[in-house]
Structure 1
Amino acid sequence: MKNQTSSPRWRVRAASRFASLTGASTLLVLCYWSFHPAMASDPRVAAAVRTEFFKRASAEFTAGDYDAAISTLENTMGHPPHPACHYLRGECFRKTWRLDQAVKDFDRTIEIDPRHASAHYSRGLIAEYRDYWDRALEEYDAAVQLDPNLSLPHIARGGIRWKRGELEQATNDLNRGIKLASEAILANPNDAAAYRARALALRTLRQFDRALEDHDQMIRLLPDSVEAHIERGRTHAAKYEQAMHAAQTGGGPEAMVAAERHKAASVADFDQAVRLATRLIEKSPDKPQGYRMRVEAFDARFHAWKDPEDCRFAVADLDMLARHAPACPTVFFRRGHLHAVAAATDGDAAAAAKHFDAALADLNRVIKLNPTFAAAWCERGLHYLRAVQRGGDAELSRRGVADLSEMIRLVPKEGRAYCARGSAHALLSDWQQALADANDAVRLCPQMPEAYSLRGLIHDCLKNQDAAHA
């Protein structure tokens, strides 16, 4: 029998997987000013009241009650506007997935205070989440220039550069972030945020043992933090992959034992995150934040271990959030992405087909709610391509090309989009268009290995062996 893995079509499908891998309600609150006309005529009273509300909102934010903090902050939005109030509300909106509202508050923060580095950083996080990586890098650059002593912008910038294959620049950024976080820890050994920042940087650098030490410290300080257990669970899962690779390449039985130990630890952390989020729901069943946190826990566990039950549990919580916030694109994007991954990984053909249709419906909803959500166009395009790889017809490839073309229109300098569209053209045997996209991917991201792999495979399929091995 012919070896299918040597066929050109199989190899192009393999290349397309590279691209795949480099993959609320509105509260009606009456303004405080309506009930306190004296505040408008006495700036000192207004400032004092604003300060008290801001303190209360800050405490609510720290406690994770972001919706309550948003409500409280409505009382601080007077005249003149204050950047700290807009920034804190923007962070609350970001934490509750209301990204458009968050961006408006961060924009307002920067308008009032152009040197507000944290607002640039937070705006960058949203741009990165939506696949506007160049815009995110601009925001992280601005944050670093305005306040070079903030660790998180360095770490976030290093993360994007790492994903793009720009390893030297990424390593410099990540090491700078680690140094700044270490200085913060030295100044305050109980700074949980600094331990978290350093752990994220160390994990990106694949220094998992050191990252786990910082996760342990964060959990020591915040034992009931859902996020802390999720992040440690992810790092244990990454360490499991590293140990499994060692076991399969001559590492011996010790590596296999280490792999199983990290898998068990990862599952235990995700389980604890689910339990903690469930307690939040039981305590306040009418508040959406517990459901959001449980989605994060189920989502992380599903992506780490691909248990279909975790997908089902996360989708059930997202169903509740969708009823609570029917106009929130992020809710539908999260649910659509889960369905898309399940469609690609579920061994049951009937279940996979249901996930495919559900993912498509959710991603259609995201694009209808926000046509500039680049990540949704990319996700839907890749969703079509994965279906073709599982035996779908050529029409799905054409739809994938159209969606990825729209992503390129929105983010014309993003090499990943060209790499993905090149894979779609290759599946249609449109080799010249595929090669043009691969060349653009190499031009835009000259250090991205996937772009070179795709171009080499296309040359191979065109029988141009010299170019493939040049």
Structure 2
Amino acid sequence: MAALSAITISVAGCSTTTPVDTISIDRTQGTEENISSLTEVIQRNPSNPEGYNVRGSAYGRSGQFRNALEDFNRAVQLNPSFYQAYANRALIHRSMGNLTEAANDYNRALKINPRYDVAYIGRGNLYRQAGRTNEAMTDFNRAISLQTTDPRAYHNRGLLKQLRGQHPQAIEDFSASISLAPNSPEPYNGRGISYVALNDDDNAFADFNRAIELDQKVAESWANQALIYERRGEKARAAKSYARATQLDPKYRPAVDGLARVR
């Protein structure tokens, strides 16, 4: 999502912020020991769909998407009303680029349980990805109206408000996301960008620094920090942070362009 395109040229290096709805790959979830343990549970009770759902989730988190799909398929075969498994399968489909299948699964989950906040958040991100921002906003609003405790709803709604130039409201949503997931760097980056749009560089800088403290391997955080240094005229420090961002992601345009400017 292109963030803050209407801001003055001095903020042109401001990065896009990351929507939160992707699978964070953790190879340890797919270790032979972990999968074997889950397989033993299934073997003891092969007609229990929950076992397949749990193992499918482990496969998904480890990046073994095809194995995950097989398990979620089996789960919904055993229990066609298993709405959580549909939503889990939808996220796998989305990660594989099967967006139509993902949408169908979120719709199935919501038909079974119209109050399932996770499915609204997931479908909202599909809408956002397709540029259907009004429908995305409706889904995020619905999840929040259901009193979700899932930080993704607030974070991703904040991105939409940011896109619309509603920065004070976006800051409120990013703050709500932070309160639910204080150790996640994404909402700090999102909130910081809206602070930049409001020319509140001090709060923006604090948020970008916090994002770096939480995860030093996110190129966006370093590029955002560099932007504040650049706006302050501290070109040497800006260059160092932009360079760090390009080391982490050589194709990250805000960092590449920023480094070219300060050099």
TM-score by length of 1: 0.41
The answer for the alignment partner of 2:75 in structure 1 is: 76
* Residue in structure 2 matching 1:241, options 213, 227, 242: 227
User: Once superposed, what is the RMSD of the aligned Cα atoms?
Assistant: 2.8
Offset of residue 304 of structure 1: 3.7
Code of the residue aligned with 1:66 in structure 2: it is: F
In structure 1, C-alpha distance between the alignment counterparts of 2:246 and 2:163, rounded to whole Å: 26
1:54–1:76 CA contact under 8 A, matched in 2: yes
Per-residue deviation, 1:151: 1.8
Q: Which residue of 1 aligns with 2:256?
A: 305
- Residues 234 and 73 of structure 1, relative CA distance in 2, 3 Å threshold: same
Q: Which residue pairs with 2:168 in the alignment?
A: 168
Specify whether residues 196 and 84 from structure 1 end up closer, same or farther in structure 2 by C-alpha distance, changes over 3 A only: farther
**Alpha-carbon separation, structure 1, partners of 2:65 and 2:209:** 28
Question: Do the aligned partners of residues 51 and 148 (structure 1) sit closer, same or farther apart at CA in structure 2, a change above 3 Å counting?
Answer: closer
What is residue 270 of structure 1 aligned with on the other side? 249
5 Å-filtered alignment, 1:406-425, equals none
1:216, distance to aligned residue in structure 2 (A) = 3.9
Is 1:90 the counterpart of 2:86? The answer is no
Q: Do 1:178 and 1:202's aligned partners in 2 also have CA atoms closer than 8 Å?
A: no
Give the Å deviation of 1:145: 0.8
1:180 Cα offset (Å): 2.3
Task: Tell whether the 8 Å contact from 1:83 to 1:110 is kept in structure 2 after alignment.
Answer: yes
Measured after TM superposition, the shift of residue 122 of structure 1 is: 1.0
2:188 aligns with one of 191, 199, 209 = 199
- How far the C-alpha of 1:162 sits from its partner, in A, is 1.5
SS of 2:131's equivalent?
coil
* Alignment match, 2:66: 67
Aligned-pair distance for 1:89? 0.4
CA distances 1:412-470 after superposition (whole Å, capped 9, x unpaired): xxxxxxxxxxxxxxxxxxxxxxxxxxxxxxxxxxxxxxxxxxxxxxxxxxxxxxxxxxx
- Identify the residue that residue 213 of structure 1 maps to in structure 2: 210
Question: What are the residue-to-residue correspondences of 1:7-86 with 2, within 5 Å?
Answer: 47-48=47-48, 50-78=49-77, 79-86=79-86
Matches within 5 A, 1:303-452: 304-305=255-256
Q: Is the 8 A contact 1:152 1:197 kept in 2?
A: no
SS in 1 for 2:97: coil
Q: Paired residue for 1:142?
A: 142
1:116-127 aligned at under 5 Å gives the runs 116-127=116-127
Are the equivalent residues in 1 in contact too, given 2:242–2:255 (CA < 8 A)?
Answer: no
Contact 2:55/2:71 (<8 A) preserved: yes
1:83-102 deviations in whole A, cap 9, x for unaligned?
A: 11101100111112211111
Partner Cα distance (1:215, 1:51) in 2: 38
Moved more, 113-122 or 161-170: 161-170
2:154 aligned with 1:154: yes
1:390 maps to which residue?
Answer: none
Shift of 1:218: 4.1
- Rg comparison, structure with higher value: 1
Query: In structure 2, what is the Cα distance between the partners aligned to 1:214 and 1:200?
Result: 6
1:53 to partner: Cα distance: 1.6
CA gap of 1:180–1:55, structure 2 versus 1, over 3 A, is closer
1:217–1:173: structure 2 CA closer, same or farther, 3 Å change rule?
closer
For residues 149 and 106 of structure 1, the distance between their equivalents in structure 2, rounded to whole angstroms, comes to 19
Q: Distance between the aligned counterparts of 2:90 and 2:223, measured in 1?
A: 32
Q: TM-score, normalised by structure 2?
A: 0.70
Q: CA deviation at 1:259?
A: 0.4
Name the SS of the counterpart of 1:205 in structure 2: helix
Percentage of pairs with the same residue:
18
- C-alpha displacement of 1:165: 1.3
Q: For the residues of structure 1 that align with 2:95 and 2:238, how far apart are their CA atoms?
A: 33
Counterparts of 1:81 and 1:65, CA distance in 2: 25
Where 1:236 maps in the other structure, the secondary structure is helix
The 3-state SS of whatever aligns with 1:165 is: coil
**What secondary structure, in the 3-state scheme, does the structure 1 residue paired with 2:157 have?**
helix
Instruction: Give, in whole Å, the separation in 1 of the partners of 2:206 and 2:219.
Output: 13
1:89-117 CA distances to partner (integer Å, 9 max, x unpaired)?
00111112211111111111111111110
Deviation at 1:166, TM superposition (A): 1.5
Number of aligned residue pairs: 211
Q: Which has the higher contact order (CA 8 A, sep 6+)?
A: 2
Contact between 1:149 and 1:180, CA under 8 Å: does it hold in 2? yes
Q: Which amino acid aligns with 1:205?
A: S
